[in-house]
């Protein structure tokens, strides 16, 4: 990093990638970020992973959008046919006034002609809390409905549904740092060494000091496996069978915490009867784990003084994702592993501000702080705060449902802020056709994303180091980000663009600073009680809930009961449901998707970060060496992957962590977009697609 002569200015910010929320110091020289180093934030204690340390220069990439763009009248048909060499064929530069007027006029015309529900909005988990709040307010107030969502629908919507149902709150019950107080920890359906690397360092330290680390995943998890006391590589899609079998042992051997169950839960007796059928012997063949291992894990977890459960999208991205999460909640409740130091439930949140965007109401069935739109008193509260605005009682549509309505033509306009459904939706060819159908698409982003290629107007926005506001990490910690440098060219901070657009569609908005938005959020969000802009500015981070103006916040919650009726959490039995499609003669293998250490989500940022792209430049999939041998494919050669949705060709790698009947496919590469293949079948409660399981055929690409 060098001494202070090496840079002109320095500011504190938060890493823009994952939900760990590492605090960073960003050093600027000659108007450009020169380096980033970790500082002593509550979640990272000075540590950073490769993305946080070396992934910053995407903000200076020549592809940054620096002027508003409007689709030309004589542009070619909409599609993924735009590149930087022919951008002028499709779009012309416009002034901000013209672009904002054009954006607003298209929305207002649709509203007048077809009604407000002809327009929907996708906000972003990469924006600040204030921007997420303003975005959902614009849709709800400007168009009088709740059809506004964001990428939480694609990552942890099912976890949130189960947590809200059974413990009364969608956020984690304990920070991941609490693992230092635990005796045993289960990490299931998550690959933290790649996806939450700084959190993984705490997990490894826990194991090194003798903590029992139980890793459960269909992939063998080379990163954490070396530190694990138990590694259960179970059959994909059999989560409920395995977890119910573990709980069967705890029930049959009476290892459960009777006192805790009597004091803090409801539904135990029905649950106990339900679980009796799931003996380890009966479930063993289905999930591929021996009865002895199931018993061992059950005893380790139940007899420990303090246990935690961490999970990722391997749990949530199934049509039974909510049932998977219900099982994990029941497991923790059975053992009394909630509400004390070293205990808790922790879905590892993905994007840097997916927790905050969800808290801020960027969800179709709830207002800020998860207050249901169906509750009259909630609607009254917002009618009061939003000066007479009537909130629609009907819950809105989710991401995949909205794209389906777009495809069928009942939604004709969209405002997309920082999301990339042309890459992130399941069965993405369907989503791309839908986007091409839109009469009016406004995209606000920092790059010409695949979604922006379908836009009628593109509004150049700001990256995280270019804005001021607050973000909330996976630990419920609200952190302040300070503007490190201004957005490039004519690009603007996102909150300013949303405000300008709101005014043009007729809303009487008057905000001059994100602080004013934060203060308005506090009027309806009890979670922000005792958290002020000044505190955040001075302290950098405060965790909610917060007991007083001096309290740094509660790392562990629900020690004295749950925010549910009678203060009790609930056991909800879960049945075994097979994946929506199973392998057969035509599609004999299982496709699962995920992330890689160096790349982030749809790759729009990390593939433009020099170091990260140099380390991992090419689209790839991974298979077991024996599978490659059977196919006659050498590592580095290409295979063709085909599902019922589509086909793509991609370089194959050998990886012993992947089971012989599986293919692992990262989803960051547009040239081999994983979601061409994935299944849009939805979990009925969380409405999350089954990204983690599709039936696939794999063939060698001949001629290599
Ligand atoms: Fe950024 Fe997550 Fe890495 Fe921390 S662990 S540096 S937040 S990507």
> Residue with the nearest Cα to atom 4 of ligand 1?
22
The string of pLDDT tens digits covering residues 165-194 is: 999 988 899 999 999 999 999 999 999 999
Residue-by-residue DSSP string for 523-559: HH-GGGTT--HHHHHHHSEEESS--STT----SB--T
List, for residues 526-585, the tens digit of each pLDDT value: 999 999 999 999 999 999 999 999 999 999 999 999 999 899 999 999 999 999 999 999
- Render pLDDT for 99-124 as a digit per residue (tens, 0 to 9): 999 999 999 999 999 999 999 999 99
pTM (2 d.p.): 0.94
Q: Ligand 1 center to residue 199 CA distance, Å? A: 8
Q: Which two tokens stand for residue 114?
A: 């077809």
Cα–ligand 1 centroid distance for 47 (angstroms): 9
Ligand 1 centroid, distance to 356 Cα (angstroms): 16
Residue 6 pLDDT level (bands cut at 50, 70, 90): confident
* pLDDT value of residue 686: 87
Are residues 394 and 145 in contact, defined by beta-carbon separation less than 8 angstroms?
Answer: yes
Output the pLDDT for position 704. Answer: 65
The predicted-structure confidence for 493-522, as pLDDT tens digits, reads as follows: 999 999 999 999 999 999 999 999 999 999
Q: What integer is the mean pLDDT of 142-158?
A: 89
**CA separation for the pair 668, 655 (Å, rounded):** 19
Instruction: Indicate which atom in ligand 1 lies nearest the CA of residue 14.
Output: 7
The whole-number average pLDDT for the span 380-387 is: 96
Say what the pLDDT of residue 3 is. 53
Q: Would the pLDDT of 2 be above 70?
A: no
Percent of the chain scoring above 70 in pLDDT: 99
Ligand 1 binding pocket (C-beta < 6 A) is: 15, 17-18, 20-22, 44, 48-49, 51-52, 196-198
What pLDDT does 151 receive? 81
Mean pLDDT, all residues of the chain: 95
CA 170 to ligand 1 center in whole angstroms: 22
Q: Please report the atom of ligand 1 found closest to the CA of residue 197.
A: 5
Average pLDDT over residues 287-300: 98
DSSP-derived pairing of the beta strands 371-372 and 366-367: antiparallel
Return the bridge partners of 310, or none: 187, 346
Q: Could you tell me the distance, in angstroms and rounded to a whole number, from the CA of residue 128 to the centre of ligand 1?
A: 17
Q: Which residue's alpha carbon is nearest to atom 1 within ligand 1?
A: 52
Q: Which of 314, 349, 352 is nearest to 605 (CA)?
A: 352
Residue 659 Cα to ligand 1 middle (Å): 28
Mean pLDDT of 264-290: 98
231 SS3 class: strand
- 539 Cα to the center of ligand 1, angstroms: 20
Summarize pLDDT for 655-688 with one digit per residue, the tens.
Answer: 999 999 999 999 889 899 999 999 999 999 988 9
- Give the pLDDT score at 587: 98
Render 141-196 in DSSP notation, one character per residue: HHHSS--EE-THHHHTHHHHHHHHHHHS-SS-SB-GGGGGG-SEEEEES--HHHHS
Atom 3, ligand 1: residue with shortest CA distance: 49
Calculate how far, in angstroms, residue 176's C-alpha sits from the geometric centre of ligand 1: 14
**Given ligand 1 and candidates 52, 348, 349, 600, which is best to mutate, with the most ligand atoms within 8 Å of its CB?**
52
Using CA atoms of 579, 580, 581, 583 in order, give the dihedral in degrees to the nearest 10. 0
Given the CA of residue 53, which atom of ligand 1 is nearest to it? 6
Rounded to 5 degrees, φ, ψ at 227 are: -105, -5
Confidence of residue 152 (pLDDT cuts 50, 70, 90): confident
Beta bridge partners of 589: 696
In the Cβ-directed half-sphere of 591, how many Cα atoms lie within 13 Å?
31
Atom of ligand 1 minimally distant from the CA of 48 = 6
Give residues with Cβ within 8 angstroms of 74, minimum separation 6.
Answer: none
Counting beta carbons within 10 angstroms of the beta carbon of residue 89, is it exposed (0 to 12), middle (13 to 18) or buried (19 or more)? middle
Q: Is the pLDDT of residue 1 over 50?
A: no
Mean pLDDT for the stretch of residues 316-341: 97
Pocket-testing residue among 12, 14, 17, 36, ligand 1, by greatest number of atoms within 8 A of Cβ: 17
Q: Is the ipTM of this complex over 0.95?
A: yes
The per-residue pLDDT for 4 is 57
């Amino acid at each position: 990093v060098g001494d202070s002569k090496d840079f002109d200015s320095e500011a504190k910010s938060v890493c823009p990638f994952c939900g760990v929320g590492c605090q960073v110091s960003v050093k600027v020289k000659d108007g450009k970020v020169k380096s980033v180093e970790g500082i002593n934030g509550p979640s990272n204690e000075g540590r950073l992973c490769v993305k946080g340390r070396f992934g910053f220069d995407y903000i200076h990439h020549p592809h940054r959008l620096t002027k508003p763009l409007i689709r030309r009248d004589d542009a070619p048909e909409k599609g993924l046919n735009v590149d930087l060499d022919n951008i002028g064929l499709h779009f012309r530069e416009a002034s901000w006034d013209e672009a904002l007027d054009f954006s607003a006029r298209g929305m207002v015309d649709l509203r007048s002609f077809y009604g407000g529900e002809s327009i929907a909005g996708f906000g972003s988990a990469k924006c600040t809390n204030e921007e997420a709040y303003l975005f959902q307010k614009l849709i709800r107030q400007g168009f009088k409905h709740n059809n506004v969502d964001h990428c939480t629908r694609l990552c942890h919507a099912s976890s949130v549904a189960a947590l809200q149902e059974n413990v009364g709150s969608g956020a984690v019950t304990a920070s991941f740092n609490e693992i230092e107080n635990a005796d045993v920890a289960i990490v299931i359906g998550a690959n933290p060494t790649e996806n939450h690397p700084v959190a993984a360092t705490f997990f490894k330290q826990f194991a090194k000091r003798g903590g029992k680390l139980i890793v459960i995943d269909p992939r063998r998890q080379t990163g954490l496996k070396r530190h694990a006391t138990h590694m259960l590589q179970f059959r994909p899609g059999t989560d409920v069978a395995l977890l119910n079998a573990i709980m069967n042992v705890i029930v049959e051997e009476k290892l459960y915490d009777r006192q805790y169950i009597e004091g803090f839960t409801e539904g135990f007796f029905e649950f106990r009867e339900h679980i009796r059928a799931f003996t380890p012997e009966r479930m063993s063949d289905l999930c591929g784990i021996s009865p002895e291992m199931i018993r061992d894990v059950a005893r380790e977890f139940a007899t420990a003084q303090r246990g935690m459960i961490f999970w990722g999208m391997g749990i949530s991205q199934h049509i039974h994702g909510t049932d998977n999460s219900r099982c994990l909640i029941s497991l923790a409740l059975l053992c009394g592993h909630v509400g004390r130091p070293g205990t808790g439930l922790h879905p590892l949140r993905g994007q840097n501000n997916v927790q905050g965007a969800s808290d801020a109401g960027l969800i179709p069935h709830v207002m800020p702080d998860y207050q249901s739109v169906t509750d009259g008193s909630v609607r009254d509260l917002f009618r009061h705060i939003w000066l007479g605005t009537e909130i629609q009682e009907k819950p809105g549509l989710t991401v995949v449902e909205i794209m389906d309505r777009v495809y069928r033509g009942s939604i004709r306009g969209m405002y997309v802020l920082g999301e990339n459904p042309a890459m992130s939706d399941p069965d993405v060819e369907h989503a791309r056709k839908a986007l091409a159908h839109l009469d009016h698409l406004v995209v606000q982003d920092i790059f010409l994303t695949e979604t922006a290629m379908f836009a009628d107007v593109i509004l150049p926005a700001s990256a995280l180091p270019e804005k001021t506001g607050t973000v909330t990490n996976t630990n419920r910690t609200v952190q302040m980000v300070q503007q490190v440098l201004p957005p490039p060219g004519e690009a603007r901070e996102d909150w300013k663009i949303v405000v300008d657009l709101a005014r043009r569609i007729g809303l009487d908005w008057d905000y001059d600073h994100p602080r004013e938005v934060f203060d308005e959020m506090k009027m309806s969000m009890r979670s922000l009680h005792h958290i002020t802009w000044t505190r955040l500015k001075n302290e950098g981070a405060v965790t909610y809930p917060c007991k007083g103006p001096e309290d740094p916040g509660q790392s562990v919650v629900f020690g004295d009961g749950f925010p549910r009726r009678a203060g009790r959490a609930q056991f909800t039995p879960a049945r075994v449901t097979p994946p929506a499609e199973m392998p057969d003669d035509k599609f004999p293998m299982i496709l699962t998707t995920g992330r890689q250490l160096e790349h982030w989500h749809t790759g729009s940022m990390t593939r433009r970060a020099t170091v990260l792209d140099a380390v991992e430049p090419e689209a790839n999939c991974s298979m077991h060496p024996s599978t490659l041998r059977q196919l006659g494919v050498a590592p580095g050669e290409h295979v063709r992957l085909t599902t019922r949705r589509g086909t793509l060709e991609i370089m194959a790698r050998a990886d012993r962590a992947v089971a012989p009947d599986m293919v692992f496919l990262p989803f960051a590469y547009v040239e081999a977009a994983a979601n061409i293949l994935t299944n849009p079948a939805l979990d009925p409660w969380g409405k999350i697609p089954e990204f983690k399981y599709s039936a696939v055929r794999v063939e060698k690409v001949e001629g290599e």
